[in-house]
Structure 1
Amino acid sequence: MLSNLKPQPADKILQLMQFYREDPRETKIDLGVGVYKDATGHTPIMRAIKAAEKQLWDEETTKSYTALSGDPAFGAAMKAMVLGDSVDHARVGAIATPGGTGAVRQALELAKLVDPETTVWTSNPTWPNHVSIIKFMKLNHAEYAYFDEASCTVDFDAMMDSLKALKAGDVVLLHGCCHNPTGANLTLEQYGLVADLIAEKGATALVDIAYQGFGDGLEEDAAATRLLASKLPELLVASSCSKNFGIYRERTGCLMAISETAEQTPVTQGTLNYLNRQNYSFPPDHGARLVSMILTDEALKADWMAELEEVRLGMLGLRQQLADELKRLTNSDRFDFIARHRGMFSRIGASPEEVLKMREDFGIYMVGDSRMNIAGLNAETVPLLAAAIAKTCK
């Protein structure tokens, strides 16, 4: 059997990380991998996570399984954090998953269980793993227009025109905030118009919200998802705790499925549990338990929110510094969009050839489509990046 295996295509971001490690230049800058880093290039453990882990060390008495859906306290805490009071929680089924990726995968498994011929729509561009998973599952895939390369903003008219081709039963994958890879986001009004069109077509929205708290604030970043939940009869929400709690390796995610009525929830919840059982049985608990501890403890939550705000404001500061430096170097407002983008990423409109030239000439490592991780910068490296962009990009 194994002798019949064929090599799989290399992950471009992981390959880029390898190139970076092999580069001997001291001035090299890693803007590829999608992990938050502080000014020293370190991905820290948040204070509240450390405190919760110490508390758990003292209080935990068993490592037995929780439930197929995960610890109920985690599901309840995630519903409150992501959905707020936008929808009756009695309508919401929830399962813990291995990271936000696991939540996306389980959402697509649910859609496939209902209709194996469903078509999943993703923005062009989107996080590459979205498309990879859809194709691996042999689901039908379509793209809707999203990003205008010239202005580096959302082309909303083109997006709506694309989505007019939706059919009943299709799934539309939307980014809840901090669009990956572009950093360009819909306005709340535009999300509302998208919701109206999805409802009109009889399609289902799947929200991937992986960066809540990294954009405009914890509550503000949930506003679009909550609007969709309030306007649509059904909604799937895949949420990740990797970034906003800094627990990447704990693989902590949650899939929420909102049914049209509370009476439907037991069947929805039972189906979610069934999918967990078929894929990995009981989900991991450690990260989920830390999250639920923090979100239900007033002091821990306050400290976590304060540190999360420090992270968010730090990235906004780097965005503004980069935009200002580029304006100074180019004597134009061409790159002002960088300050308006939100989240860890921006796509700056450089060609693959220009991206390669920046890597070869300046040691700037970003993904070939010119997606860069703002959190890979610090105050000292921003001028180096700005100079490379100004000298390279036409």
Structure 2
Amino acid sequence: MFETLKAQPADKILALMQMFRDDPRTDKIDLGVGVYRNADGITPVMRAVKAAEHRLWETQDTKAYTGLLGDPAYADAMIGLILGDAVPRAAIAAAATPGGTGACRQAFEMIRMANPSARVFVSDPTWPNHISILNYLGIEAVPYRYFDSETRGVDFDGMISDLKKAAPGDVVLLHGCCHNPTGANLNPVQWQEVIAVLNATGAVPMIDIAYQGFGDGLEADAAGTRTVAAGVPECLIAASCSKNFGVYRERTGLLMAIAADTGRQGLNQGTLAFLNRQNYSFPPDHGARVVTTILNDADLRADWAAELEDVRLSMLGLRRQLADELQRLAGSDRFAFIGDHRGMFSRLGASPALVEKLRQDHGIYMVGDSRLNIAGLNAKTVPILADAIIRAGV
């Protein structure tokens, strides 16, 4: 049987990580991996996470399964964090998932069940796993213009023009904040225009929000998601706790399905339970329970929010430092977009050949589409990166 299997393409980011590890140069810089790292190159366990885990260790008296949808308290806490009071709780079905990837996978499965002929409109570019999962499930992915390689901002006119081609039953995949891989985000006026197009076409939005708190703050980063959820009849939201709680390996995510009326919430809830059962039965609980403990405790929540704000400001400071250094070296403001972008990533707009030149000549590792992870930098490596970018002719 196994002789019929075909080799699958290697994950480019994982391959890049291995190349970095094998590189003997001591001044190499890893800007490819998509995790937050502090100035010492460590992905730390957040203070509130440690405290919550200690509390669980002292009080938890069973490791029995939770329900198919996970602990309801986790869903309530996450819905409050992401949506606030934008949508009535009674209209929202929710399922705990193995990370944000699991939430996206279950959302795509739900879309396929509801409408086997649905197309999913995805930004060009988007997180590669979006495309990979859609292709694997046999769901047509339709790219819409998003990133302007000249301005390094959002090609909003192109985006709107492409989204108008969606039809009822199609899905439009949006990034809630801190767009991956570009770092370029929609502004409040643009979010409203997107909602108008969605309502005019009858397409359903799906929002992937994986970086809440990494851009402009917890509330500001949720604003686009809340606006969309409140402005359309139906919506899917895939959320991840990997970044803002730092629980990457705990695989902690949530999928929300918002119904047009509360009468359909039960059907959506049952569908999510069915999908969980088919894929992995009961979702992971440890990370979800840690997150719930933090969000439901005033002191832990305040400490978590404070540490998350420190992380956000650190990345913002690195952005500004890099933009300023590049302006000094280039003698122009053509790299100002780096300071304007938000989240962990920015896309330089460099060709694959220049990205390879940066790797070979300067030990600068970034994804081939020129996505760089701002959190892979520190105050000492920013000048090194800026000099390499200018010398490579980016």
Q: Output the CA distance in 2 between the equivalents of 1:64 and 1:71.
A: 12
- Report the residue type matching 2:208 in the other structure: D
Q: Paired residue for 1:268?
A: 268
Q: Paired residue for 2:205?
A: 205
Q: 1:71-111, CA deviations, whole angstroms, 9 ceiling, x for partnerless residues?
A: 00000001100000101011001000000000000000000
Q: Paired residue for 1:239?
A: 239
Q: Paired residue for 1:224?
A: 224
Larger mean Cα displacement after TM superposition, 259-268 or 366-375: 259-268
Q: Output the CA distance in 2 between the equivalents of 1:349 and 1:374.
A: 15
Q: Output the CA distance in 1 between the equivalents of 2:345 and 2:16.
A: 16
Give the unaligned 5+ runs of structure 2.
Answer: none
Deviation of 1:164 after TM superposition, in Å, equals 1.2
Q: Paired residue for 1:258?
A: 258
Please give the residue correspondences for 1:318-357 in structure 2 after superposition, counting only pairs within 5 Å. Answer: 318-357=318-357
Q: Output the CA distance in 1 between the equivalents of 2:160 and 2:180.
A: 19
- Report the residue type matching 1:182 in the other structure: T
Q: 1:29-84, CA deviations, whole angstroms, 9 ceiling, x for partnerless residues?
A: 00001000000000000000000000000000000011011000000001100000
Q: Output the CA distance in 2 between the equivalents of 1:135 and 1:213.
A: 30
Q: 1:231-288, CA deviations, whole angstroms, 9 ceiling, x for partnerless residues?
A: 0011100000000000000000000110011111111111111111111101000000
Q: Output the CA distance in 2 between the equivalents of 1:82 and 1:364.
A: 35
Q: Paired residue for 1:138?
A: 138
Please give the residue correspondences for 1:1-394 in structure 2 after superposition, counting only pairs within 5 Å. Answer: 1-394=1-394
* Helix, strand or coil at the partner of 1:384: helix
Q: Output the CA distance in 1 between the equivalents of 2:353 and 2:271.
A: 47
Q: Output the CA distance in 1 between the equivalents of 2:42 and 2:107.
A: 32
* Helix, strand or coil at the partner of 2:95: strand
CA contact (8 A) 1:169 1:204 kept: yes
CA contact (8 A) 1:350 1:393 kept: no
- Report the residue type matching 1:178 in the other structure: C
* Helix, strand or coil at the partner of 1:87: coil
Deviation of 1:151 after TM superposition, in Å, equals 0.9
Q: Output the CA distance in 1 between the equivalents of 2:204 and 2:105.
A: 16
Query: How much identity, in percent, do the aligned residues show?
Result: 61
- Report the residue type matching 2:371 in the other structure: R
Deviation of 1:393 after TM superposition, in Å, equals 2.5
Deviation of 1:177 after TM superposition, in Å, equals 0.1
Q: Output the CA distance in 2 between the equivalents of 1:49 and 1:11.
A: 30
* Helix, strand or coil at the partner of 2:249: helix
CA contact (8 A) 1:36 1:376 kept: yes
- Report the residue type matching 2:233 in the other structure: P
- Report the residue type matching 1:245 in the other structure: F
* Helix, strand or coil at the partner of 1:256: strand
Number of matched pairs: 394
Q: 1:287-327, CA deviations, whole angstroms, 9 ceiling, x for partnerless residues?
A: 00000000000000000000000000000000000000000
Aligned Cα root-mean-square deviation (Å) = 0.6
* Helix, strand or coil at the partner of 1:24: coil
Q: Output the CA distance in 2 between the equivalents of 1:393 and 1:106.
A: 43
Q: Output the CA distance in 2 between the equivalents of 1:143 and 1:368.
A: 19
* Helix, strand or coil at the partner of 1:120: strand
CA contact (8 A) 1:212 1:222 kept: yes
TM-score (norm 1): 0.99
Q: Output the CA distance in 1 between the equivalents of 2:229 and 2:124.
A: 24
Deviation of 1:189 after TM superposition, in Å, equals 1.1
Give the unaligned 5+ runs of structure 1.
Answer: none
Deviation of 1:191 after TM superposition, in Å, equals 1.0
* Helix, strand or coil at the partner of 2:172: strand
Q: 1:327-383, CA deviations, whole angstroms, 9 ceiling, x for partnerless residues?
A: 000000000000000000000111111100010011000001100000000000000
CA contact (8 A) 1:100 1:238 kept: yes
Q: Output the CA distance in 2 between the equivalents of 1:22 and 1:373.
A: 20
- Report the residue type matching 2:363 in the other structure: G
Q: Output the CA distance in 2 between the equivalents of 1:164 and 1:75.
A: 33
TM-score (norm 2): 0.99
Q: Output the CA distance in 2 between the equivalents of 1:151 and 1:228.
A: 26
CA contact (8 A) 1:96 1:252 kept: yes
CA contact (8 A) 1:172 1:206 kept: yes
